[in-house]
């Protein structure tokens, strides 16, 4: 099994005729993702990617023609919020937004709409999601993954890839890996993902990659303590960041409270999560946890 996407997901690519959309849509197609349509206003009726994908003017047209249920968005920041909202009102169930730099006030509106419509949004400012050997949505390098029973949740794109690689090197493959994004307002939280993975019978262990700033990791840890039956390996990036410093992501701003790396590490451990001191330790810790579980 998997969470959120699989080989049966019917995917549309919003912004498919742009350079980013073209490049990554081709990579996704080659991985085996079931892309049924593309959307670019004003270019409806065209074919793209060696005539493999039909382009529509709007999401609603694409959905009516293909019964698409999933969308990935490669649209510039000034238009990305409206692209998500369009997908949500068109009946799309899962929306992945790769775009970085969407204004916070736009995301407030997006968050309200997707919640009202029951749309599952991943991102923005994220690498996407991959269910190994079935569906790749985003910019993750599919070739580093191997099918297995470990779920991966991460705020950081590059650390997602490193965690996957460490697990594979330890002989542990993945069910689904999801990059949730590092912006202050995102669609799917770490706790949301834990709930989904806990319900997935094929996922037997989890890796969570967090960072300084915010309360998301703490909320996830407290939920996991009371609800998770599967071992979790955690890692918190930004241990050397001083208070008030933003490190990389817009959401990674430390105020000096329990959003520091040391505070989060302490709370994760108190909640029964094994915390790696280094990214390089993730694979070995996950393997040991699986063997002892």
Please say if 249 is a catalytic residue.
yes
Overall size of the chain counted in residues: 293
Distances (CA, A) of 190 to 11, 126, 150, 175, 278: 24, 13, 15, 16, 20
Query: Please, are residues 39 and 56 in contact by the beta-carbon 8 Å criterion?
Result: yes
The residue annotated as part of the active site, out of 24, 222, 249, 274, is: 249
Strands (E), 108-160: 120-122, 128-131, 135-138, 147-154
User: Does residue 219 come out as left (phi exceeding 0), alpha (psi in the -120 to 50 range) or beta?
Assistant: alpha
Instruction: List own/partner pairs for 67-70 with CB under 8 A and 24 or more apart.
Output: 67/10, 67/36, 68/10, 68/11, 68/12, 68/36, 68/37, 68/92, 69/9, 69/10, 69/93, 69/94, 70/5, 70/9, 70/10, 70/11, 70/12, 70/94, 70/95, 70/96, 70/137
For 235, the 3-state DSSP assignment is strand
Q: Which residues does the annotation mark as catalytic?
A: 249
């Amino acid at each position: 099994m998997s969470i959120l996407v699989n080989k049966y997901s019917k995917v549309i690519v919003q912004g498919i005729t742009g350079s980013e959309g073209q490049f990554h849509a081709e990579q996704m197609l080659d991985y085996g993702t079931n892309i049924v349509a593309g959307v670019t206003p004003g270019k409806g009726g065209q074919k793209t990617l060696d005539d493999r994908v039909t382009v529509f003017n709007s999401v609603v047209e694409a959905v009516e023609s293909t019964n698409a249920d999933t969308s990935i968005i490669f649209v510039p920041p000034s238009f990305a919020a409206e692209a998500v909202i369009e997908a949500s009102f068109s009946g799309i169930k899962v929306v992945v937004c790769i775009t970085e730099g969407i204004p916070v006030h736009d995301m407030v509106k997006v968050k309200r709409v997707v919640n009202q419509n029951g749309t599952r949004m991943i991102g923005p400012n994220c690498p996407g999601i991959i269910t190994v050997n079935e569906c790749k949505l985003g910019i993750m390098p599919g070739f580093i993954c191997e099918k297995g029973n470990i779920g991966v949740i991460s705020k950081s794109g590059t650390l997602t890839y490193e965690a996957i690689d460490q697990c594979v090197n330890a002989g542990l493959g993945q069910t689904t890996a999801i990059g949730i994004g590092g912006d202050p307002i995102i669609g799917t939280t770490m706790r949301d993902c834990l709930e989904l993975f806990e319900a997935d019978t094929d996922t037997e262990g989890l890796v969570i990659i967090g960072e300084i700033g915010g309360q998301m990791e703490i909320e996830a840890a407290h939920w996991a303590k009371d609800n998770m039956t599967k071992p979790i390996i955690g890692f918190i990036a930004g241990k050397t960041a001083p208070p008030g410093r933003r490190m990389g992501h817009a959401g990674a701003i430390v105020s000096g409270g329990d959003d520091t790396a040391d505070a989060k590490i302490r709370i994760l451990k108190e909640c029964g999560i094994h915390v790696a001191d280094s990214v390089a330790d993730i694979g070995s810790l996950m393997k040991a946890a699986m063997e002892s579980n």
